[in-house]
Chains A and B, each alone.
Chain A
């Protein structure tokens, strides 16, 4: 039953991301809700469930972007695993630590996605590259408490 809720949550968050209101986009950037959800699952679920739903979230995101390489699925999976390992090393109960983790993971994911696009020979101005990195990461970080709360509720 809980797993069905997770699946429905992924569908709902993906729908929300696909229909993110233009008025709530800052400098053409929007938060990555599916990434926050996949990270939040690591805190509230066992590792296998979290990893499965992280890869699924990444795959759903990959379906709706034009690139053919499933980079989001791989990134989401790898970062879930990395977070699971990190949780055994340091305490991640403080909200600021979680904010920091979400910021770093979003930054790294965006660096990888940006570099993948640059590797195809496309020219992106450095200003727009930095805008996508920083604003998306900060925006995702700011919205993370809401998604964390939501994940905690459906995990309980």
Chain B
């Protein structure tokens, strides 16, 4: 099957809903409607490979979700990046991320031996060597290695222990989920990661997996074939625990908090309510809503490999827009449930100079406050 058939480019109406909804089209040289047409007219992907905006796409999938013909423009971008990957012609930062993942199992190229560094001296069961558990907690690369994020899985472990959930981790055997790798166009490496992780999931003895990152959650739910495994994002698990009254909050968090929907959790999987249910359950917390929320949430630009590709976009970043919007509505905190959103929004808070006025927090960091955890 050739490229045009694979992505059904003949069926494109050129209606422009894709570009109209694209969160980067206003600030980057990327017009997905036009790009689809160019590939169709040129008869091969070759004509589009020089497009300077190819690495601006965040694969948020707004275009795909809104296409009236059911086409997948965001997948066309992934396909075009795939052509570049096979030619070897990709940005140096992307090469480093792909090679780092191939060698060390994470796009930051950090040593595998240090994958459990986030734990500190906390005791967390490694499956299957240290026993059995109902749930497998997939930490993800960002939270495993990024110093800003490493405390967050520790909070989740404490929360789950308090709620009596039986869980374990893969330890240093955990490898990158491959969600971003596939979206950077490295289909072969994605297949290898999927195979290795699936093998380790099966060997773990657990029957259900929860992730901290919506990106891992997405690929396990839709791109792995995990027969017999339940896959949840941690916000779904926590919202259920709150409903079952296994999780209660004792401390007030008297803040105005606006929730930012991550694309790979919200619009792509319609997990809109569980994160909000957790926030609403926190005493004292006033939950605000962005004008652009839920399926209309503004992408933070951290997905689709953008953590490792700067892109060609100019002007105000979406994360900066988001922080300014939050400040304008009187929010003191933007809460989110994605490691990439957390990092990009925090950058936005710094570059807009609103760092001290609008704090960026993972929902779990507010949960820790509400549970009265110290030293998190």
Q: Do A and B actually bind?
A: no
Question: Which chain B residues have a beta carbon within 8 Å of chain A's beta carbons?
Answer: none
